[in-house]
Amino acid sequence: MFKFEKEQKIFDVAGVKIGGQPGQLPTAMIGTIFYHKDKIVKDEKTGEFDKESAEKLLKAEEEISSKTGNPRIVDVCSSWPQAFEKFIDFVADTIDGPFCIDGTTADVRMAGAKYVGETGLAERVIYNSIAPEIKEAEISAIKEAKIKTAILLLLNTEKPLIAGRLEVIDKLLEKAKMTGVENILIDTAVFDIQDPGPTGKTIYLVKGKYGYPAGCGAHNAIDIWNKRRKLSPETYFASSLVANILPVVMGANFMLYGPIKNAHKIYVPVAVTDAYIAYTMWQEYNYMPLTKNHPFFNLSKIAT
């Protein structure tokens, strides 16, 4: 394994600590609910949804999170401003800890920001996300809501390479400063099927130069693979695991793992990876995890 020479930042977001050197903290798991075409959503425009099914999904994730020690952050997605309030209220009332507000457009995200600012939820919120093309109106909405944590998306469509991702980071940091955000999480942006490799390397480089917590949504690489439906379920699952695990090995502090319904599939493999990394860091660098609630200590109870 490796240890970064740059001091690694650790942010406490509503009780969840994110960041640090490899092995110090468990990977934070970010799963999405109420996404486009989510089967539990009855009407995306009005925000009507199957409350019982949503509660079961959140409960199932909570249980596996408590076993592995990987903290969970719920990514609350919405396609319509008027639906966002219902989704946010439900998640905020159902879980403890932080959650993301993740809209499909700037207007939706701004509506979410305005609502959490008005309802006193801003301290629990991670804004997902600030992209290089963010406009002044969205910057103002984040600032007015007093949101202190945001994901910065290293989106460079003109140059979707490692170098291109790194080229936009300073611009993004300037934009984040304008919003008043203090806790910065870097999403190294998955564009294509092969991207978990480049995004993983970008995580390593970002942490090495800036020290910010970093991660990505590696599941997107498999989800956009047109021929994935020709794979057997076992092969698809194994491919998805490789995509999600590689960035963790490269130093990722958080993982956007996709639909929350997949929590039971992905938490344990990530936890096992975290445990392996922590054990290696103890042997090589003589430091232990910063928390006792870490997969390093929890492997024995995961299978119970």
Q: What percentage of residues in the chain have a pLDDT greater than 70?
A: 100
For the chain, the average pLDDT equals 96
- Among 98-102, 111-115, 226-230, 270-274, the range scoring the smallest mean pLDDT is 226-230
| First vs last C-alpha separation in the chain | 29
C-alpha of 42 from chain center: 25
How does DSSP assign 184-212, residue by residue? EEEE----STTTHHHHHHHHHHHHHHT--
Question: CA quadruple 139, 84, 150, 133: dihedral positive or negative?
Answer: negative
Q: Which two tokens stand for residue 126?
A: 């991670």
The three-class DSSP label of residue 44 is coil
Q: Which two tokens stand for residue 99?
A: 């959650």
- Among 24-28, 93-97, 239-243, the range scoring the smallest mean pLDDT is 239-243
Identify the structural domains of the chain with CATH numbers, from first to last: 27-297 (3.20.20.20)
pLDDT class of 231 with cuts at 50, 70, 90: confident
Model confidence, pTM: 0.97
- φ and ψ at residue 126, rounded to 5 degrees: -110, 120
Give the span between the Cα atoms of 86 and 110, in whole angstroms.
15
Give the span between the Cα atoms of 287 and 280, in whole angstroms.
10
Q: What is the pLDDT of residues 114-133, one digit of tens each?
A: 999 999 999 999 999 999 99
Give the span between the Cα atoms of 13 and 184, in whole angstroms.
11
* Residues facing residue 72 across a β-bridge: 29
Q: What is the pLDDT of residue 1?
A: 85
Q: What is the pLDDT of residue 236?
A: 83
**Residue 304 reports pLDDT greater than 80:** no
Q: What is the pLDDT of residues 182-203, one digit of tens each?
A: 999 999 999 888 999 999 999 9
**Residue 137 reports pLDDT greater than 70:** yes
Q: What is the pLDDT of residue 161?
A: 97
**Residue 223 reports pLDDT greater than 80:** no
**Residue 221 reports pLDDT greater than 90:** no
Angstrom CA distances, 59 to 38, 114, 159, 174, 176, stand at: 17, 28, 41, 38, 33
Q: What is the mean pLDDT of residues 245-271?
A: 97
The three-class DSSP label of residue 88 is helix
